Amino acid sequence: MTQPVIEMRAVGKRFGKLTALDEVSLTLKEGEVLGLMGHNGAGKSTSMKLILGLIRPTSGELKVFGHDPGGAAANDLRLRLGYLPENVQFYEQLSGYEVLDYFARLKRIGTEVVRPLLERVGLGHAMYRRVKTYSKGMRQRLGLAQALIGEPRLMLLDEPTVGLDPMATRDFYGMVDELRGRGVSVILCSHVLPGVERHIDRAAILGRGRMLASGSIDELREAADLPLVMRLRTARSPESLADALRSHGVLARQTAAGRIELEVPVRAKVAVLRSLMADPEVADLDMEPPTLESLYAHFDATIRDLAEAAPAPTATLDAPQGVSA
């Protein structure tokens, strides 16, 4: 059996009285893309810093490529990692080329990789311009190029599409797909959930330092048991459709676009489809399963409900010493 790239077993992290992570378990396999989701303070950045070996767990066990990321093998491990922080910052008086040349030398990589990497992320035309003239999107691309130095086997990407326009975002996800195809493991943290689910193998949802849910999108849909949405073009009214499908637990409403939108329990999907397909007044139909965004909202609401019912004695606030959860 292939050793996991990352293995977290009941990992906890405390900063004084503040609990940033509470017995979180997680694995990442070779060539797998994991979407790490959670609100601010959920524990995403703390997880990243633990994996990078910048901080040590208070409890539990963490292995990266089979080693303690904060132990004797830390320096060698970091040569196999690529990291793009959320708020990427560079020396503004240097050119993009000089910045990448500097990071390549830190990783003991020859500078011949600099130009191809800058061209790969769409900065070939601006490689000799000073970073202070770069837009936010250009700085984000430069950060991505920095993370790709040395062809790392594990990529940690924190809010990588912030500041990118739609075309650059599409190119970024194309690069993620390419990395996965080459067997690179990727952890992708993002608040921008629409569009992410097509490019990840699994999602892990954190809340108040706890693992709320983890699995493939299909597994999360099964666990959440949320209704799917059917949109119809029909002459029938929402009331008549709701009456006809009442036994299946269907809810109907009119959309601003003039269509009928049905919320259908998953268990009733086939029966409702048969009924609608047999209805001569239904001219068109499309179906949408629960999205990653709706799944995240569902699981996040569970921890919020629990917090309101019984407030936790500890918090997952930004920790002291400049470390954020």
Q: Which CATH architecture has domain 1-80+152-225+313-325?
A: 3-Layer(aba) Sandwich (3.40)
Per-residue pLDDT for 320 more than 50?
A: no
pLDDT for 309 equals: 55
Phi, psi of 129, rounded to the nearest 5 degrees: -80, 150
DSSP, collapsed to helix, strand or coil, labels residue 297 as helix
In this predicted model, what pLDDT tens digit does every residue of 195-243 receive, in sequence order? Answer: 888 999 999 999 989 999 999 999 999 999 999 999 999 888 888 888 8
Phi, psi of 282, rounded to the nearest 5 degrees: -90, 110
**Topology of domain 227-288, CATH:** Alpha-Beta Plaits (3.30.70)
pLDDT for 315 equals: 41
Helices of type H across the chain: 44-52, 74-78, 96-106, 114-120, 136-147, 166-181, 217-224, 238-244, 269-277, 292-309
127 compared with 72, residue with greater pLDDT = 127
pLDDT for 155 equals: 95
Tokens 């409900």 sit on residue: 305
Average pLDDT value for the chain: 88
In this predicted model, what pLDDT tens digit does every residue of 271-300 receive, in sequence order? Answer: 999 999 999 999 899 999 999 999 999 998
pLDDT for 237 equals: 87
Name the pTM for this structure.
Answer: 0.84
DSSP letter assigned to residue 95: B
- Percentage of residues of the chain with pLDDT beyond 90: 59
Spell out the residues 6+ positions from residue 270 whose beta carbon is closer than 8 angstroms to its own: none
In this predicted model, what pLDDT tens digit does every residue of 155-164 receive, in sequence order? Answer: 999 988 877 8
Q: Kindly list the domain boundaries of the chain, sorted by start residue.
A: 1-80+152-225+313-325, 92-149, 227-288
Taking alpha carbons only, the member of 166, 150, 179, 176 closest to residue 79 is: 150
Element (H, E) at 263: strand 260-264
The span from the CA of 319 to the CA of 266, in Å, is 42
